Structure 1
Amino acid sequence: MLPTEFIQQLQHFIPADRLYLDPVDCYAYAYDNSKKYFPPDCVIFPLTTDEVAQVILLCNKFKIPITPRGRGTGTAGGSLAEQGGTALSLERMIQIIAVDAANRVLVAQPGVLNEAVQVASKPHGFFWPPDPSSAAFSSIGGNLAAGAGGPHAVKYGTTRDHVLGLIAVTGQGNVIKTGCYTTKGVVGYDLTRLLVGSEGTLAVITEATLKLTPLPAAKGGLVAHYRDIDSCAQAITTIMREPQGPSALEFLDSGSLDLIRSRNPTMLQHDTGAMLMIEVDGTEHEITAATDKLLAACQNDGLLTAAPVQNTTELWKARKALSPLLRDIAPKKINEDIVVPVDKIPQLLAGLTTLCERYQIPNVNFGHAGNGNIHVNLLVDPDKPGESERAYECLDQIFDLVIDLNGTLSGEHGIGSEKRPYITKELDDVTLTLMKQIKLTFDPNNILNPGKLFP
């Protein structure tokens, strides 16, 4: 229950149409794609940096928790109001402030959708490389908060690599400007890269200066079908040794392929046990040369067929539909986005098979093989006695395997609340203590997305 005085003061600068107090209205902001529910006591829709600052200052005064959120597409529980208080929805901050082609820059508010950034950039011959599967629905504020990636990160990098500067409001209510407008700039600490991926625990981003990249002149595609997962994993390692590598390299295991076949029976050959979707981009000459080299790299004893594809549109649609399809058949699935060095992918996939067989948990694996980012999906039926417990025991062992392979627990989804219990597997006590001190420097009253990240 929020103090009456807090609500009264809030209403002085946030109009009624941008303030939800009715629990029924607030319930739509109680969940994200983790499918867990924590209703906030109110939802606030700011339009400007100044309004965000006023909200944070007022919440500090009354020690009210604030949970920033974009469109709620995250899977790690990062936008859940676990401690109640206020949900600060940035979905109405949707201005694209500038598209500056001469400087390859786009400036936007956090509520702008990823897809809208691409649409605004394309007529100028540019794009913004982060391309999560949720691009049509996720906001750039959410992409920045989680450090989103996507299929093309193998060539172009993740969100951190494509942000020049930010305007943000700290947990104390102070407006800060980080980074610069130019592609070179080394004045002071790199607070921009600190805030990107901080999941709204340090500051609320209210404006982002994004670095645009020229659209490639052309794109080409390859599809390689393998008899089994082992030969496919070996091919990934060989492909990534090629200096002129792919712009995207997606891996799909037999479970993923069965899902695609269930909706598109004629799309895939029946004996494929694992598959690679490979994209190359550049000039026509570069694509021809890269395609020849990558076709050669695909060759091994387990290869069934490998060939260029003129139009990969339908395949990419099927790939991007995998996560929603899994939600349909396994609403309680455990979805992780682990990463290992590319040359350790064969060991990772073998280990996943062993662990899931040991704990009797069905699983489906797919993902961005070019940078070792595999989406592991444990398909859990909570109505089966003991299955949830076995699944989480299996997950604990999977994370141990990832760390043993010199990997990381999250490549693009973030920690949020879902991976919070496991973060000490990767970070030691000294490092965690330093991170907590940084948190309190930005947010001394610990009101900004409290409880996230840290165990």
Structure 2
Amino acid sequence: MNNMLPAELATELSVLLGAEGWRTDDGALEANAQDNSWRHQRPAAVALPTSREQVQALVRACRRHRIALVARGAGTGTTGAAVPLEGSIVLSFARMDRILSIRPGDRCAVVEPGVLNGDLQHALSAHGLFWAPDPSSADICSIGGNLACNAGGPRAVKYGTSRDNVLGLVAVTGSGDIIQCGGAYTKDATGYDLTHLLVGSEGTLALIVEATLKLAALPVAQAGLRVLYRDADAAAQAVSRVMGQPVVPTRLEFMDARSLQLLRLNGADVADAGAMLLIEADGDHDTLPYLLQALATAAEGDGMLALDVAMEGAAREKLWAARKALSPALRSVAPGKINEDVVVPVSRIPELVAGVQALAREHDLTIVTFGHAGNGNLHVNILYHPDDADENARAHAALPKIFALTLALEGTLSGEHGIGLAKRDFMAQAFTPETLAAMRAIKAALDPDGILNPGKVLPTAACPRPAAAVTAGSTIDGNHRARP
């Protein structure tokens, strides 16, 4: 396939962006060829704009030439959403990385999409504030990427995901128009909610060039509980009890027996048990003990083996260090990993855990389950050896059954990783044809020529684009240019 851009377009964008903003060298192409899904495809070029006006001009130029644009933050995503298509241009927001303003009186910050989550948190801490989303890659992931996939993290159980913590956006649509929605206010009953529509759309509807983020005050005090259980079912039942009482934990993490075994093999001080919950609360020094007691009371019950309290300091940090060490520890089991972040209603977590354990036995696989139980969001990790053809086949045969189980339990495909390429073809199972048609109609309205991250999120098989988009000459071919 041809990976060359039209000479006229290349010249136009080179002049627009300058030598630092228009890259076609091997180093730049390779650096932007994959995300953390390990899918790989080199783009035709990498564009690094520094302003919304440059983004707008870039989109308009690509629209005229029917060239696909794939937006990219820091490349920490796991679903292939930022992996370019052959013949496409990667639009990297690495140079749009300014914190434009921090407004403590309005509890908001205005940022460009390339700002790193960790850098923002550091800047906000001086004001006694923080932005709630805390994915595992928080230090190195970008705000634009967080918004693109609606990232969450352990704190989401109390403070919500990215979508819950954005107040307004400025974005460039696939038509090359700049739109503005929302602002520095927390109540808004004016028109359609485009802000929350764009968050989680993975760069398929518009390119976010500025975001107004909702901030929260740093807690005065925090404390955690480590609770061990006889088995996963007992822990899952405890999750339902914890979430069914009035006190909302700041974090509520679940780890199954295999998770605990891995932690011990990697030197963590974790006792042998069937499952573990890490529960955290925050508040002030006067109220925190009462909050913690309420959570501890709910955590107690049939199957509980032990409960330890960790107040602020080294003991609490040790708890969360164990949790953060879990994902890297999976590499010691097998080089292949299918990591899905499915979600079910909290009351159905026991059924999800039991179903996953049954699938592990059925397919003779190691499946490690842990995650953000307070939101019903569990990370189901299927571990396998890719060079073992039989095990490889069993792993990939188990995957659709994981999704089928999740949907049967009234759940959804992703809680924070997004859809991208990895789960795109399962969307037809998660939504009715009518619902998918509504999504395609929105895509066609905001990106009429289909140039923004084509082939991601929405399934393509037996799912033709809307007639209006086809007649506009927008069907993307193998070279990712539109065919008239």
**TM-score normalized by structure 2?**
0.91
Which residue in 2 is equivalent to 1:291? 292
Which residue in 2 is equivalent to 1:79? 82
Letter in 2 for 1:287: L
In the alignment, structure 1 residue 59 sits paired with structure 2 residue 67:
no
Which residue in 2 is equivalent to 1:351? 355
Find the residue that maps to 1:279 and give its secondary structure.
Answer: strand
Alignment of 1:207-222 (within 5 A): 207-222=210-225
Q: How big is the shift at 1:115?
A: 1.1
Indicate if the aligned counterparts of 1:146 and 1:199 stay in contact, CA closer than 8 A: yes
Distance 1:90 1:332 in 2: 30
Distance 1:364 1:386 in 2: 19
More displaced 10-residue stretch of structure 1: 320-329 or 222-231: 320-329
Indicate if the aligned counterparts of 1:339 and 1:402 stay in contact, CA closer than 8 A: yes
Distance 1:328 1:87 in 2: 34
Per-residue CA distance 1:50-77 (angstroms, 9 max, x = gap): 0111111110111111000100000011
Which residue in 2 is equivalent to 1:233? 236
Q: How big is the shift at 1:327?
A: 4.3
Q: 1:292 to 1:100 in 2, by over 3 A?
A: same
Per-residue CA distance 1:145-178 (angstroms, 9 max, x = gap): 0001110111111111111101110011111111
Distance 2:120 2:332 in 1: 29
Distance 1:321 1:205 in 2: 33
Which residue in 2 is equivalent to 1:268? 270
Distance 2:57 2:387 in 1: 46
Alignment of 1:175-324 (within 5 A): 175-265=178-268, 267-269=269-271, 271-310=272-311, 311-324=315-328
Q: How big is the shift at 1:10?
A: 0.8
Which residue in 1 is equivalent to 2:40? 37
Indicate if the aligned counterparts of 2:70 and 2:90 stay in contact, CA closer than 8 A: yes
Q: Give structure 1 regions of 4+ aligned residues with deviation exceeding 6 angstroms.
A: none
Find the residue that maps to 1:386 and give its secondary structure.
Answer: helix
Letter in 2 for 1:26: L
Letter in 2 for 1:274: A
Q: Pick from 399, 406, 422: which aligns with 2:410?
A: 406
- Identity of matched residues, %: 48
Q: How big is the shift at 1:86?
A: 0.2
Which residue in 1 is equivalent to 2:377? 373
More displaced 10-residue stretch of structure 1: 23-32 or 402-411: 23-32
How many matched pairs? 453
Per-residue CA distance 1:244-303 (angstroms, 9 max, x = gap): 1311000111222122212224x112x222111110011223211121122222222321
Indicate if the aligned counterparts of 1:249 and 1:369 stay in contact, CA closer than 8 A: yes
Distance 1:329 1:29 in 2: 29
Q: How big is the shift at 1:228?
A: 1.5
Distance 2:125 2:396 in 1: 44
Per-residue CA distance 1:122-162 (angstroms, 9 max, x = gap): 12111111111110010000000000111011111111111
Q: 1:2 to 1:327 in 2, by over 3 A?
A: farther
Q: How big is the shift at 1:25?
A: 2.6
Find the residue that maps to 1:135 and give its secondary structure.
Answer: coil
Indicate if the aligned counterparts of 1:76 and 1:418 stay in contact, CA closer than 8 A: yes
Q: How big is the shift at 1:386?
A: 2.2
Distance 1:346 1:438 in 2: 36
Q: How big is the shift at 1:304?
A: 1.4
Which residue in 2 is equivalent to 1:126? 129
Per-residue CA distance 1:349-404 (angstroms, 9 max, x = gap): 00000011101121111100011000000002111122222212211111111111
Letter in 2 for 1:308: V
Which residue in 1 is equivalent to 2:394? 390
Indicate if the aligned counterparts of 2:226 and 2:319 stay in contact, CA closer than 8 A: no
Find the residue that maps to 1:314 and give its secondary structure.
Answer: helix
Find the residue that maps to 1:284 and give its secondary structure.
Answer: coil
Indicate if the aligned counterparts of 1:164 and 1:183 stay in contact, CA closer than 8 A: yes
Indicate if the aligned counterparts of 1:23 and 1:41 stay in contact, CA closer than 8 A: no
Which residue in 2 is equivalent to 1:428? 432
Alignment of 1:83-122 (within 5 A): 83-122=86-125
Unaligned runs of 5+ in 2: 460-484
Find the residue that maps to 2:329 and give its secondary structure.
Answer: helix
**TM-score normalized by structure 1?**
0.97
Which residue in 2 is equivalent to 1:334? 338
Indicate if the aligned counterparts of 2:168 and 2:195 stay in contact, CA closer than 8 A: yes
Indicate if the aligned counterparts of 1:83 and 1:450 stay in contact, CA closer than 8 A: no
Distance 1:48 1:257 in 2: 47
Per-residue CA distance 1:313-344 (angstroms, 9 max, x = gap): 12212312322332464332100000001110
Indicate if the aligned counterparts of 1:334 and 1:378 stay in contact, CA closer than 8 A: yes
Indicate if the aligned counterparts of 2:335 and 2:386 stay in contact, CA closer than 8 A: no
Distance 1:83 1:173 in 2: 22
Indicate if the aligned counterparts of 1:236 and 1:369 stay in contact, CA closer than 8 A: yes
Per-residue CA distance 1:84-129 (angstroms, 9 max, x = gap): 3100010121100000111111000001011112111112111111
Letter in 2 for 1:90: F
Distance 2:429 2:331 in 1: 28
Which residue in 2 is equivalent to 1:146? 149
More displaced 10-residue stretch of structure 1: 372-381 or 301-310: 301-310
Distance 2:205 2:5 in 1: 23
Which residue in 2 is equivalent to 1:135? 138
Indicate if the aligned counterparts of 1:38 and 1:84 stay in contact, CA closer than 8 A: no
Unaligned runs of 5+ in 1: none
Q: How big is the shift at 1:432?
A: 0.4
